[in-house]
Chains A and B, each alone.
Chain A
Amino acid sequence: MMQKLLLLLALSISSTGLLAQTNADSVRLDKFYYGSLEKVLDEITAEYGVHFVFDRPALAALRIEERPFNKPLIRFLEQICRPRDLKFMRLPDGSIRILGAYENPETDALTQKPFVRSGAKQKNITVAGLITDRASGEALPFVSVRVMNAPIGVTANVDGQFTLLHVPTDTSILLFTYVGYEPVLVFLSPEAPLMNLQVSMKSEATLQEVVVTAEKEELLKASEQVSMFKMTPAKLATLPSLGERDIFRSFQLMPGISAANEHTSGLYVRGGTPDQALTLYDGFTVYNVDHLFGFFSAFNSNSIKDVQLFKGVFDAKYGGRLSSVVEITGKDGNNRRFNAGGDLSLLSANVWLEQPFGEKFTTIVTARRSWKGPLYEKIFDRFSGESEQAAGPFGNRFGNAQVSSYFYDVNAKATWKPNKRDVYSLSFYNGADKLDNSITPQLPSGFGGGGGRLNLGITDLTTWGNTGASLKWSRKWSERLYSNSLISYSSYYSQRDRSSSGTFEQDGETQEIRRGTLENNLLKDFSAKTDWEWKFLPGHQLEFGASATQNDITYTYAQSDTATLLDRSTAGLTATTYVQDKASFFKEKLVVTPGIRATYFSPSGKMYYEPRANLSYKIGEHLKLKAATGLYYQFAKRVIREDVLSGSRDFWVLTDGDRLPVASSKQYVAGAAWENSQWLFDAEAYYKSLDGLTEYSLRFTPSGPGQFDYEENFYNGTGVSRGIDLLLQKKYGRFNGWVGYTLSDTRQNYPVYGGEFYASNDVTHEFKVTGLYHWRRWDFSATWIYASGKPYTAPEGGYQITLLDGTSRDFLNVSAKNAYRLPDYHRLDVAATYNFRFGKAPATFGISLFNLYNRANVWYKEFEIINNQVISTDVYYLGATPNLTLGVKLR
């Protein structure tokens, strides 16, 4: 606020106020102008008597050198303003005001508290408008808008548009808040454009001192809705990171989301698994979120504008998943001028470009690719089992690994806003990983003798990737009706070839051998959906919509060229419609959102109904009670292929309502939040039952001896997850951060595993601390994570049975499912970020240390059976790992 006042004082009218005003249109310039823009404007005032209003310190910093030849003043101003991100406007008294390209003088004027408040002329009015980012002009989604001293508030839609009904008077005060942005107060006046407010919000400028005010920007926003979080990608840079700012890794610092999973970016939310989390990027579903063994998420934070996470009990609008929803909104791009930037770390290089075409059409492209820096090598070696702790999958080998591995991703988006009502956007994503650990052996000469010649190669190749695209049309039909419709395509593939193959020449004939594990999973998703919001009555917002998804999923699993165990190809249509009413009562103290979702799923030929309800009640100023419940179904799911010895894998399948049942979940959440301007304390307890879970295991012979169908090796089970999430957050100040704790108990029950057992992702206690400290140009941060060990299954012993012929047979036995626990997991990460200017370009330099005290956290155990003895090897997660990051952008 202080800064704004200073700015106001700095705004001054040129000193020659006593001179008669000249009509600016008649002025033509014809000489060489150079020096600061401030000096040049003063010079023009002195020469022609045209008055300018401008921000002196800002314009004093801009230099020009121009030689207009008999050029009209107005054309000259256009010429100098546009490249400098400025614009100008004529004031009623004939003077000219120079201002920033994204400043909206009409609304900006409203953000200053008027000295005299005029009397209200209208009561019970509707206020509508658009919220944008001041630096790029991009629309900001999901901004919270509230009327001060009245229980009226609303959240802007994904296109940044908002409508407030029943605002008490046309002199009310509105408060706009958004994660990572400075809050804005707007003082309405009868003259203000009430139906077309253009509010621009300022992202926390990294070079400014943080000023403590009543409402401040935050990295994280919790407690707005039951089990929901918001995060701002722009501020992620200050958290410790391993090479890349990562939105998914940051969510893992929240209570209820497990962090002890370095091997996947996927979200284990409240006992759920990553495939039970719906990930939407600009409306299309992303089926796999991992890069490089899951160490990084597939999303480039430079392309993300907004992220919302629902830890469960989500609205009827979302479906097809049991556990959680992550909705990511991509950036539209700067709508004024070209901008570009990039980051370089020890892991990857990352660039982004923004190019507008006119004011209505914007584009943005971001791309990154790993490079074989020391960090990439370290992670690759650890996760491909080549480190000293983890013996390679094939033991000692001849020859060298000809390793060629990388990941990349590309995001591109084009947005067209032909008018104030419509927004069209086309968003595209493509990313892939190739991890190659194959070996070409150099066999000793004469090896494989006996007259034959042997060529043997070991292939260890894993590739996967996602491609997605959506074409979206949003329309604001009226102040009360808004729609958002899209068509989308998404595909995911995963191939794994861990085999030894070779040609064997004998008697002039070439024989081929190939043995190992060959897996191929391909998923396609064609979707169309439309979502509507209708404020049909005071205190009621009706949301309804429909969607259709055609899924096409294939999976093959073979142990050699000829032994194909599984070959599934399934397709099916999911058609859904939903309706919910967000109703508020008692001056918005009580908000109830009942809803229902109905789905027809073609493979089972059945209808599925999902009732949902969500309730919050405010007691006094600070305390809020909340509760929610719902039924959830999942039609495409990921099945774990259990492998006790070398680690389990998973693959996507489409359920069929028979051997692969449609998964379902019932959830109950109750909690409370206490919040003031400085602190937030949030507590939620949850209970979740799961049905129709599926695993694939070859450990059991389903139908007795003899031939059997490998399709029978799908086993179904149920689950229960319950727990408590606690969050204490210091929201503002030079030092801020949060502490999260989760107590949970997650069990599954598969008859084939002998009944109930702890789920593989069960973590009893999880404690996380995140601290952020800002000092001058530095941002410091630290996170400490502690999690109880996860359960695992191990070969545990053996026994002998004497057969009828007097001989005996040895049996190796595997423990009860998940009867053992890994040691507890903990680690400390720290980071420091220095903000500076590289020439004129804003830049950051970051240094971070992952796992500072080099804790050896066990990822999993590998077992090898040699002569009926079990040799167990601990496979560790990453030890202490430093990283450096340099980021620069044009503006």
Chain B
Amino acid sequence: MKNILFLLPALLFIAACEKTALTTATESVNRPVVEAYLVPGQIPAVRITYQLAFASSDTVVRPLEGLDVWVAADGQEHLLAYSSADSLYQADGSWQVEAGTTYQLHFEFNGATISAASTVPQKPQDFSASASTIALPQFSPGSGVPPSFPDPIELGWDNSDGAYYLVVVENLETDPEAIFEDNGNSDRPPRPVFRSEPEQTNTFQIGFQNFQYYGAHRVVLFKLNAEYASLYDDNGNSSQNLTAPYSNVTGGLGIFTGLNADTLMVEVTK
């Protein structure tokens, strides 16, 4: 019986080997959420917050302060400064985002390195619209025969590199007049903005029904990276399946992406 007791430590040694610590529940839930859009001409800025844990009693998102956040570009590292007023980590004013440059984010949190990288796309090329004005008669639904409507506005641009594009149309009037009269029984909120979803396309139609208000409209065409487009994937919050949200942040959550844009103006008249 004594012999066997001597053997035990040897067995323990074989089975023990080295073990690395795995992600614990606390570490997992404390992963930081990054939000950063790198737009040419703007100062690089990154928002970093905690996620809202189901187990906690928090109801508001808490910013993650006191980090050393670095962004590198063209072989140069920049330490971002925290602005508590905006809850943002920002570069100083001398440094601006440029198209075609790759930006690399990294910071240390809870002993782990969180990192992300993105290249800022070039400005969209040959962005044009089939018309700069569209005339829409005012009417109220159900009030009789609808009037005849104009053709939609065709937007077009060059997409020879198969990039993702998204169109956002904003009404610029301060007190816009509605096109469709509601019957007084709807508390329709003002919709000064409408948008498309990211697509690998080179056209977009703005139909008359998209417009809710008269006046000046700004049409912004965003050129995007795939990581932004992935944010729009259905993350299946049904009980059939639960999808882990897409993120290009290694060790964290959220989005760190470059984008570019071009703008046109459209006027909606009576």
Residues of A within 8 A of B (CB): 517, 559, 619, 623, 625, 643-646, 668, 670-672, 674, 681, 683-687, 698-701, 704-706, 722-724, 743, 745, 747, 754, 756-758, 795-807, 809, 811-816, 819-821, 863-865, 868-870
Residues of A contacting B172 in the complex (Cβ-Cβ under 8 angstroms): none
B231 at the interface (CB under 8 A from A): yes
CB-based contact B52/A799 at 8 Å? yes
- Does B1 interact with chain A (Cβ within 8 Å)? yes
B198 at interface, CB cutoff 8 A: yes
- Check if A819 sits within 8 Å of B25, measured CB to CB: yes
Chain A: CB-nearest residue to B241: A698
Knowing A698-B236, A806-B193, A813-B51, say if A704 contacts B244 (CB, 8 Å).
Answer: no
- The chain A residue with its CB closest to the CB of B250 is A754
Known contacts A644-B241, A800-B61, then 20 further A-B pairs from the complex at CB < 8 Å, ordered by chain A residue: A517-B240, A559-B240, A643-B241, A670-B14, A681-B1, A700-B244, A701-B246, A724-B12, A743-B15, A754-B23, A757-B22, A796-B29, A796-B51, A801-B231, A801-B255, A802-B35, A804-B37, A811-B245, A865-B237, A865-B242
Q: How far is the CA of A37 from the CA of B218 in the complex (A)?
A: 114
Assembled-state Cα–Cα distance A743/B13 (Å): 13
Q: Which of B53, B61, B226 contacts A796 (CB 8 A)?
A: B53
Are B14's CB and A687's CB within 8 A?
yes
B206-249 interface with A by 8 A CB criterion: 222, 226, 228-233, 235-246
A-B residue pair count with CB separations less than 8 angstroms: 164
Please, could you name 22 A-B residue pairs with CB atoms under 8 Å apart, sorted by A? A668-B14, A672-B3, A681-B4, A683-B7, A685-B14, A686-B15, A704-B229, A705-B229, A722-B17, A796-B51, A798-B51, A801-B35, A803-B231, A812-B245, A816-B27, A819-B22, A819-B23, A819-B24, A819-B28, A821-B25, A865-B237, A865-B242
Contacts of B188 in A (CB 8 A): none
**Which listed residue, B3, B28, B51, touches A799 by the CB 8 Å rule?**
B51
Minimum Cβ distance to chain A for residue B91 (Å): 19
Report Cα–Cα, A445/B177, bound state, in Å: 47
Judged by DSSP, the binding face of A is strand
For the complex, is B33 an interface residue (Cβ under 8 Å from A)?
A: yes
B41 to chain A, nearest CB (A): 16
Contact residues in B for A799 (Cβ distance below 8 Å): 33, 49, 51-52, 61, 253-254
Q: Are B253 and A722 in contact (CB under 8 A)?
A: no
Residues in chain A near residue B14, CB distance under 8 A: 668, 670, 685, 687
- Residue of B27, B238, B239 with highest tally of chain A CB at under 10 A: B239
Chain B residue nearest to A644 in the complex (CB): B242
Complex alpha-carbon distance, A806 and B193, angstroms: 9
- Rounded to whole Å, the gap between the CB of B198 and the closest CB of chain A is 7
A517 CA to B236 CA, complexed, in Å:
15
- Residues of B near A668 (CB, < 8 A) are 14
When the two chains form their complex, are residues B253 and A747 in contact, meaning their CB atoms are under 8 A apart?
Answer: no
- Which of B15, B195, B243, B254 is A724 in contact with, Cβ under 8 Å? B15
CB-based contact B237/A674 at 8 Å: no
CA distance A799 to B14 in the complex (A): 44
Give Cα A724 to B259, complex, Å: 55
Query: Given A799-B253, A865-B239, is A683 in contact with B4 using a C-beta cutoff of 8 Å?
Result: yes
Do residues A685 and B52 form an inter-chain contact, with CB atoms below 8 A?
A: no
Q: Are A815 and B28 in contact (CB under 8 A)?
A: yes
Query: How many Å lie between the Cα of A102 and that of B14 in the bound state?
Result: 51
- Is there contact, CB below 8 Å, between A672 and B53? no
With a cutoff of 8 Å between Cβ atoms, the chain B residues found around residue A747 in the complex are 22
- B193 near A805 with CB under 8 A, answer yes
Listed residue (B16, B31, B54) with the most chain A CB atoms within 10 angstroms of its CB: B54
List of A residues within 8 angstroms of B195 by Cβ: 804-805
B11 contacts A by Cβ under 8 Å: yes
